[in-house]
């Protein structure tokens, strides 16, 4: 087994998703994931506390990118304009690996209630991070919560549309279009 080879974290995620697809989440062990990735079991635990954590591997980075984009939006930006800046920043970090893994990851999540719960908590965590970033900009509490939730929904809708688009398409136009659509839809609620 390779030790200290670069890219271990990514290889672990790929190996896990492949194994979850092939034999199911419950039947897959940490040892099998490590072996498939070409690393030791201790290397697995240096990167992840358990196999569930593999599915939220990018959550912290994604939340950070969303909040950085919100924080760096112009001072005069509306809450949704700040959310759009966060979506644009986070979307820029998504690439071919995300597109490749998405269908297999979705299938693994759909087949396991525990993973569905973990996936829902991921969305809640990202919304909370966005809310905090908006509150730090001085956005009132209810407005910050609503804008963050719209941002998460826009990210999910845009991501789904991106997966159906051509392979060379970038994600940002899809998340921003989804946010515009949601903004329009919310105006029709009054």
Give the per-residue pLDDT at 6.
65
Tokens (6 digits) for 67: 């909040």
Query: Cα separation of 171 and 114, whole Å?
Result: 28
Contact 38, 11 (CB under 8 A): yes
Q: What is the DSSP letter of 165?
A: S
Under CATH, which architecture does the 8-54 domain have? Orthogonal Bundle (1.10)
* Residue with the two structure tokens 């659509």: 181
Domain boundaries, the chain: 8-54, 58-187
Query: Cα separation of 24 and 108, whole Å?
Result: 7
Tokens (6 digits) for 153: 């929904």
Per-residue pLDDT of the chain (190 residues; tens, 9 = 90+): 444 556 888 889 889 988 988 888 889 999 999 999 999 999 999 998 888 888 777 778 889 999 999 999 999 999 999 999 999 999 988 888 888 888 888 888 888 888 888 888 888 999 999 999 999 999 999 999 999 999 999 999 999 999 888 777 899 999 999 999 999 998 888 7
Question: At the fourth CATH level, which superfamily is domain 58-187?
Answer: Tetracycline Repressor, domain 2 (1.10.357.10)
- Predicted model pTM: 0.82
H-helix segments, 73-140: 79-91, 96-110, 113-136
């Amino acid at each position: 087994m390779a030790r200290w080879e670069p890219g271990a974290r990514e290889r672990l995620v790929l190996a896990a998703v492949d194994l979850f697809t092939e034999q199911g989440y419950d039947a897959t062990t940490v040892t099998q994931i490590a072996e498939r990735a070409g690393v030791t079991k201790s290397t697995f635990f240096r990167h992840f506390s358990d196999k569930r954590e593999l599915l939220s591997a990018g959550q912290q980075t994604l939340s950070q990118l969303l909040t950085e984009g919100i924080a760096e939006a112009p001072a005069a930006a509306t809450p949704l304009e700040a959310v759009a800046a966060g979506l644009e920043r986070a979307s820029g970090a998504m690439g071919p690996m995300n597109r490749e893994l998405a269908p297999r990851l979705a299938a693994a999540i759909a087949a396991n209630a525990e993973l569905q719960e973990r996936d829902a908590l991921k969305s809640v965590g990202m919304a909370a991070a966005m809310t905090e970033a908006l509150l730090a900009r001085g956005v009132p509490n209810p407005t910050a919560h609503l804008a963050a939730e719209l941002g998460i929904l826009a990210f999910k809708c845009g991501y789904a549309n991106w997966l159906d688009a051509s392979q060379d398409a970038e994600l940002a136009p899809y998340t921003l279009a989804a946010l515009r659509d949601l903004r329009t839809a919310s105006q029709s609620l009054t």
